[in-house]
Copies of this chain bind each other. A is one copy, B any other.
Amino acid sequence: MAITSLDRLCIHTITTKPLGFEEACTKFAARGVKGISIWRDAVKGLDPNRVKQILKENHLTPVSYVRGGFFPAMDQVQREVAIEDNRKMLREAAGLGIPMLVLVCGAEPKQPLQVSRDQIKKGIETLLPMARELGVKLAIEPLHPMYADTRSAITSLGQANDMAEYFDDDFLGIAVDVYHLWFDADLEREIKRCGRNNKLFAYHICDWNVPTLDMLNDRGLMGSGCIPLKQIRGWVEETGFSGFHEVEIFSTKFWASDQDDFLDKIVDAYLHHS
């Protein structure tokens, strides 16, 4: 079904990284954007009540707090520091009224991926009671395999589903980001499995540029690359997902451009190519 309104459009603050938090909120609101996912750096040093006031004034629904995780480390002390930092992020999210913390799970290139995966499992297990208590959900974001060295030992939706099924906890689900998963031959099946399990907590969109010039900061605007966005959204919606469509674009090129113009492009690309 075509997208005809902006009611479910959410933008990640990092998408318009050059903008300050309040400036981003007013510019999002001016275009009719309804949701915002907040990166920790974007609100660093701001009073939580002021953040909530800005959100309220701009009629913006906070969707996700980004990003916790990074559980694996060779050293136990470092792993405990990571867990403590995740606890802090859960408290921050609760304080800001953000209902979900996205987990970029992490990986440590000096140890086997399986060890990192076990440490991720342990980290999530440790955090879940606090997540429940604070009412902040955790969303595992499986990342593209090109980030398996240092960013995520969870590199497929299948693995994230396995993990979510293992815990079977209402406060643990999955963030499906098309950038990381679009090529997966099992994507439709795994999205449906995720939905059946009630674990599809978030849906992130952007596009894969052809060619991609940088492994991290060359994501494309929806419609400019090769990701079958409408097909994937179809699978997501077939599960009954009714959450936001979160635009998360890391792009040196767009960050260097006029952000008003970029936001206009995002709204247009959202309506026509997502």
Binding site for B on A (CB under 8 A): 109-110, 112-113, 117, 144-146, 148-150, 155-156, 158-159, 182-185, 208, 210-212, 215, 225-226, 228, 231
Contacts and interface: CB of A to CB of B under 8 A. Distances in A.
A117 B156 CA distance: 20
A159 B145 contact: no
Nearest to A182: B148
Given A225-B109, A226-B110, A212 B144 contact: no
Contacts of A117: 185
21 contacts: A109-B210, A109-B225, A110-B226, A112-B228, A112-B231, A113-B183, A113-B185, A117-B185, A144-B146, A145-B184, A146-B146, A146-B212, A146-B215, A148-B182, A149-B208, A149-B225, A155-B185, A156-B185, A158-B185, A212-B215, A215-B215
The 9 A-B pairs of least Cβ separation, nearest first, read A109-B226, A148-B183, A146-B146, A109-B210, A149-B210, A145-B183, A149-B226, A145-B145, A155-B183
